[in-house]
């Protein structure tokens, strides 16, 4: 497994909290891997929306329609 070191330069304040409380009294000293990977993926999709192919969108729409049709009404 390759290891990469990245220098992050934030242009806005950053609060890293593993508890998910949103309070600023306590923060983590490092960014957890799942938080970082989600942020990188989100940013990638904002910068390169063409990487999300039309087939993925069509597949997602079909899954939603299928879920709606399979939902029982109460």
Domain that holds residue 34: 1-74
Task: Report the pLDDT value the prediction gives residue 10, as an integer from 0 to 100.
Answer: 81
Instruction: State if pTM tops 0.85.
Output: no
Computed over every residue of the chain, the mean pLDDT equals 74
At 25 the pLDDT is: 72
Centre a 10 Å sphere on the Cβ of residue 17 and count the other Cβ atoms it contains.
Answer: 14
Residue 72 has pLDDT above 60, yes or no: no
Residue whose tokens read 């934030």: 10
Q: How far apart are CA 44 and CA 49, in angstroms?
A: 8
Domain count, the chain: 1
Mean pLDDT to the nearest integer, 4-27: 75
pLDDT of residue 71: 64
In this prediction, residue 12 carries a pLDDT of: 85
């Amino acid at each position: 497994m390759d290891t990469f070191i990245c220098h992050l330069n934030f242009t806005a304040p950053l609060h890293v909290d593993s508890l998910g409380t949103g309070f600023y009294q306590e923060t983590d000293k490092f960014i957890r891997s799942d938080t970082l990977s989600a942020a990188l993926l989100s940013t990638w999709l904002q910068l390169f929306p063409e990487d999300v192919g039309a087939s993925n969108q069509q597949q997602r729409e079909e899954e939603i329609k299928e879920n709606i049709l399979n939902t029982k009404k109460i």
